Structure 1
Amino acid sequence: MTTGPVLKNPSSKIEQAQVRLVDMPLESARGGSGATQLQLAIVRVTDEDGAIGTGYTYTLGPGMVATAALLEELHLPAIVGLATERWDQEWYRLRDTTHRLGNGVPLLATSAVDIAIWDLRAMRAELPLYRLLGAQRDRVPVYGSGRATHAMTTEQLIEGSISYVEEGYTAVKLRIGARRPEEDLARVAAVRAALGEGIGIMIDANERLDLPTAQWFASQLVDLGVQWFEEPLDSRHIEGYRALSRGRTPPLAVGEHVLGLSAFSNFAGTASIWMPDVPLTGGVSEFRRIDSLAEAHGAVITPHFLPELHVHLVAAGRAATWLEHFPLLDDLLSETLQIDNGWAMPPEYPGHGLRWDQEKIERFTVRLHETSV
């Protein structure tokens, strides 16, 4: 919970750090993966003046126990006693210390700490995070993504898409890859016919296709005026993306499984839409570096999931464009992001503005660890 005394000076020394492991069942399958479980590691840092910042990372399904353990063993002891202006150097030190572990669990752990420290900095500066980061805009366009699953009938897909349009959204996302290609294509065509040409459609394959199928789909989707083709291939299949980009295809989007700046650099000139997930890819600090790299290569940023946090990064990012409406955390928040006629406004609270529902957080907590000076 991001409350406590604040000072105008954004610099301070961290006196206490806490990690809370939360394990919550989901009422229904979510997203292209059909996840039914959400795990989070929520980090809370408290400084010498009692100001508090929170950050988090997550998995759809099991796995967060390993991240929480690394936070307890390495990250929390490293930041207790740390002056927050030294965090940028500490970010790199922690990366180097864990480089043999790769970009998975270590980067998730660093992300949670990084978000908490940026929240603390903004709290002390008495600024919403997007203003501390250098706001480029005070509202951002949102596309609808949370009302389309593989299990839905075509009629349900159409109804969900139309409901977004009726609320003022000008683009929606559909998911493919769990059915026969011809059937998936017919479903996309039916939604296009129902929405007309004035509404954008994004297609997400959730890394389910092989290269020949992706090439076939890409060519067909061009004819349907699709805005982008997201994750047609496994994100580790770099050469496959390069081959796909040389053919007839909508703009390619990739990023929710791409962790860290160096991994995104593999897609420069291949995928023109990058979709970093801040709690997974290194936090606010690494997002800013990815945003700069995207701008340099003519790519645009539209983050994955988590609109209540990512609204700040899109509002402040130079290469950032769309925000994705996918309410993954709504059940754990006491306030949700306000969206009006397809536009989201960053909250004007100091910090990132996430308001955790403490009763639910405590109910689903399975592990709690604190480190103090």
Structure 2
Amino acid sequence: MKIVDIVERTVPIQSNIRNAYIDFGKMTCSVVAIVTDVTKNGKRVVGYGFNSNGRYAPTGLLRERFIPRLLEADADDILNDDGTNLDPHRIWDVLMTGEKPGGHGERSVAVGVLDMAVWDIVAKIEEKPLYQVLAERYRSGEVDDKVFVYAAGGYYQPGKDLKQLQEEMKRYLELGYTVVKMKIGGAPLEDDLRRIEAVLEVVPDGQSLAVDANGRFDLETALQYAEKLEPYNLRWYEEAGDPLDYELQAMLVKHYSGATATGENLFSVQDARNLIRYGGMRPARDILQFDCALSYGLVEYMRILEMLKDEGWSPRQCIPHGGHQLSLNIAAGLGLGEMSRTPGCSSRSAGLQTTFR
């Protein structure tokens, strides 16, 4: 088999929502199609990949470096031993040829987009769901037939009042979700507390609600929020400070007895290891949210899982960011804890209805 073409499109996924740090009014996404010469059931096998929301389309990196690098690679460097399918691990090595360590940034997003498409091809050629492929290769065939999913929402929006926030959360409960998440940090503390208390009026209890500050706070503010959040017994307090400020995270868990969550903006096994070493994270309590589509793909994500195992962490403490089908498949196939969806923000994906020509 061989790769005959790779196409990239940049599509808009803008929305009028905002979190504590950014609005999504100009958000974009890279979508790639890797075309092979393999046919299954009369159809050419094409793998599709895209990057998770929250990072802009890495178009230049894909078109100038990573797509040409993959197209120019020898077959022996990208195929499995018998030449019948792609080898994601070999392809990862090809993509990273000539790349210096460190400085991961948006490079990790570009590689993650291609990695997603590669795994899509692997599963299609094997004619199995990706979760089954992963379970057979890395988990002795064990598959989770159910994956817990929580509803992420509660964004700041123009004109959105407390009643509308409550109605949003009620809709999620009516859809069958038992845990919801809302944004904090984009308003003064007292206003956020009113928003939280309004949601607590409509969900069963504090363990049904998680809050997400999207890395907005300095240490003083993070601790101020922690003090006020403590009595609510929330599901978790997410990304209080900058994702690379491990000292802030370590100080936070010393002062906050509830669960914390972070990791969606850490894009390599090295950064994940530093969080575990220096961030004070508690293996039986805290949540790790690495997103494989943003962090060099599933190949790197499995390295992160192996590192976590060595450090005494269970994969059940991993809840991948992203809310897409790749996260669902890895949760079921690799035995992760749960995953997220954004059922109230489906308009963000409208731009993904694109045609490759």
Q: What is the TM-score with the length of structure 1 in the denominator?
A: 0.78
- Rounded Cα–Cα distance in structure 2 between residues aligned with 1:314 and 1:282: 17
Secondary structure (helix, strand or coil) at the match of 1:40 reads strand
Secondary structure (helix, strand or coil) at the match of 2:187 reads coil
> Which amino acid in the other structure matches residue 39 of structure 1?
T
Question: Displacement, 1:302?
Answer: 0.8
> Which amino acid in the other structure matches residue 67 of structure 1?
L
Aligned to 2:114: 113
What stretches of structure 1 of length at least 5 have no aligned partner?
1-12, 334-355, 369-373
Aligned to 1:326: 342
Aligned to 2:139: none
State whether structure 2 residue 291 is matched by structure 1 residue 287. Answer: no
Question: Displacement, 1:171?
Answer: 0.5
Q: Deviations over 1:40-85 (max 9, x none)?
A: 2222223342422222225647552323333344344337774432
Aligned to 1:6: none
Given the alignment, which residue of 198, 219, 231 partners 2:227?
Answer: 219
Distance 1:255 1:329, change over 3 A: farther
Report percent identity of matched pairs: 24
Given the alignment, which residue of 229, 241, 247 partners 1:239?
Answer: 247
Secondary structure (helix, strand or coil) at the match of 1:276 reads coil
State whether structure 2 residue 156 is matched by structure 1 residue 149. Answer: yes
- Rounded Cα–Cα distance in structure 1 between residues aligned with 2:275 and 2:288: 8
Q: Deviations over 1:255-297 (max 9, x none)?
A: 2211011111122163321111221111111222223333443
Aligned to 1:39: 28
**Contact 1:206–1:232 under 8 Å retained in 2:** yes
- Rounded Cα–Cα distance in structure 1 between residues aligned with 2:31 and 2:328: 19
**Contact 1:22–1:361 under 8 Å retained in 2:** no
> Which amino acid in the other structure matches residue 191 of structure 2?
E
Distance 1:137 1:82, change over 3 A: same
Secondary structure (helix, strand or coil) at the match of 1:233 reads coil
- Rounded Cα–Cα distance in structure 2 between residues aligned with 1:257 and 1:199: 24
- Rounded Cα–Cα distance in structure 2 between residues aligned with 1:192 and 1:87: 44
Secondary structure (helix, strand or coil) at the match of 1:266 reads helix
Aligned to 1:15: 3
Secondary structure (helix, strand or coil) at the match of 2:169 reads helix
Aligned residues: CA RMSD: 2.7
- Rounded Cα–Cα distance in structure 2 between residues aligned with 1:41 and 1:280: 11
Question: Displacement, 1:247?
Answer: 1.6
Question: Displacement, 1:140?
Answer: 0.8
Question: Displacement, 1:136?
Answer: 2.8
Matching of residues 36-185 of structure 1 within 5 Å: 36-50=25-39, 51-57=45-51, 60=54, 62=56, 64-69=58-63, 70-78=65-73, 82-85=77-80, 86-95=87-96, 97-99=98-100, 102-134=103-135, 135-149=142-156, 151=158, 152-185=160-193
> Which amino acid in the other structure matches residue 228 of structure 2?
Q
Secondary structure (helix, strand or coil) at the match of 1:280 reads coil
- Rounded Cα–Cα distance in structure 2 between residues aligned with 1:234 and 1:221: 19
**Contact 1:46–1:52 under 8 Å retained in 2:** yes
Aligned to 1:344: none
Secondary structure (helix, strand or coil) at the match of 1:361 reads coil
> Which amino acid in the other structure matches residue 120 of structure 2?
D
**Contact 1:17–1:43 under 8 Å retained in 2:** no
Aligned to 2:211: 203
Aligned to 1:277: 291
Q: Which has the higher strand share?
A: 1
Given the alignment, which residue of 292, 304, 313 partners 1:298?
Answer: 313
Question: Displacement, 1:308?
Answer: 2.4
- Rounded Cα–Cα distance in structure 1 between residues aligned with 2:97 and 2:253: 33
Question: Displacement, 1:218?
Answer: 1.4
- Rounded Cα–Cα distance in structure 2 between residues aligned with 1:139 and 1:131: 13
After the TM superposition, which segments of 4 or more aligned residues of structure 1 sit over 6 Å from their partners?
328-331
- Rounded Cα–Cα distance in structure 2 between residues aligned with 1:115 and 1:108: 11
**Contact 1:67–1:108 under 8 Å retained in 2:** no
**Contact 2:154–2:168 under 8 Å retained in 1:** yes
Distance 1:325 1:31, change over 3 A: farther
Aligned to 2:326: 309
Q: What is the TM-score with the length of structure 2 in the denominator?
A: 0.82
> Which amino acid in the other structure matches residue 126 of structure 1?
E
**Contact 1:17–1:46 under 8 Å retained in 2:** yes
Question: Displacement, 1:35?
Answer: 0.6
Distance 1:78 1:41, change over 3 A: farther
**Contact 2:203–2:209 under 8 Å retained in 1:** no
